Amino acid sequence: MHCDPIYELYLKIVATIYENIRKITQMNKNLTYYFSQPLSDRNFQQIYRLSTTQLYGVILRILRQEQLAQDCLQEVFVKIYHNFERYDADKAQPLTWMVTIARNHAIDFYRKKQLPIVDDFDLSVIDDGQIQLLEELEQSEDKKRIIDCLKTLDANVRDAVFMQYFHGKTYAQIAKVFEKSENTIKSWVARALPKLKTCLEGL
């Protein structure tokens, strides 16, 4: 008996998502330990080591320029350092808290520098969608039902969502693949994510 190739593809996608979740969960576990300790240079060095790649990725996605992203990243860690005592474990995981700071600071950085809009960057689409989606997936242990939720999306829309959120493709790159306008791709993603979240919340 041969397995459905589409089903096998979904399994691979879900496995990738779960691996991302596993890494994020472990990272948050490690960060939680360091955030529970008194602030010190040595302690903060560990926080920097654990989170710098993730935060840089968030910032680069917004600014699209490596040198500017590096400069912004340093400012973000200064901000995290000075706000260390304000972190509340009851309100957010460490990585979520730091990503929020990084995203907001990158947007401010973008505005202060009066940067031209590069590629697909759009302030209106910067939100916690990806993090929230990962949290919904993390709470569900039934892979088959997750796959069923993925199946509720149109095939092209589903592919666009995964290209955007899990493979880091820009709207411009996705638009070329589907031979559609960037606005069409943005619309696909904007409509698909809430639908997928609603389905996952019902698991």
Query: What CATH number does residue 62 fall under?
Result: 1.10.1740.10
Q: How many whole angstroms separate alpha carbon 189 and alpha carbon 145?
A: 21
Q: Is the pLDDT of residue 166 over 50?
A: yes
Q: Are residues 91 and 128 in the same domain?
A: no
pLDDT mean over 96-120: 77
197 pLDDT more than 60: yes
- Report the SS3 class of residue 29: helix
Shared-domain flag, residues 145 and 105: no
Distance, CA of 188 to CA of 153 (rounded, Å): 10
93 and 147 in a single domain? The answer is no
Same domain, 157 and 190: yes
- Do the Cβ atoms of 54 and 95 come closer than 8 Å? yes
Please work out, in degrees rounded to the nearest 5, the angle formed at the alpha carbon of residue 164 by the alpha carbons of 172 and 15. 150
pLDDT above 70 covers a percentage of the chain that reads 69
Q: Give yes or no for residue 130 having a pLDDT over 60.
A: no
78 and 177 inside one domain: no
- Which residue among 118, 145, 179 closes a domain? 118
Q: How many domains are contained in the chain? A: 2
DSSP calls for 70-134? HHHHHHHHHHHHHTGGG--TTT--HHHHHHHHHHHHHHHHHHHHTPPP-TT--GGG-SSHHHHHH
Q: Which of 98, 118, 138 is the endpoint of a domain?
A: 118
CATH of the domain at 175: 1.10.10.10
Q: Which of 118, 143, 170 is the last residue of a domain?
A: 118
The answer on 92 and 58 residing in a single domain is: yes
Q: Is 158 left (phi over 0), alpha (psi -120 to 50) or beta?
A: alpha
With bands split at pLDDT 50, 70 and 90, how would you rate the model's confidence at 191?
confident
Asked if residue 103 and residue 3 are part of one domain, the reply reads yes
pTM over 0.85? The answer is no
Q: 48-76 pLDDT, tens per residue? A: 999 998 898 888 878 878 899 999 999 99
Half-sphere CA count of 54, side-chain side, radius 13 A:
21
Residue 91 sits in the same domain as residue 133: no
Domain span holding position 152: 123-203
* Cα–Cα distance for residue pair 197/49, rounded to 1 Å: 32
What pLDDT, on a 0 to 100 scale, did the predictor assign at position 122? 41
Residues 104 and 195 reside in one and the same domain = no
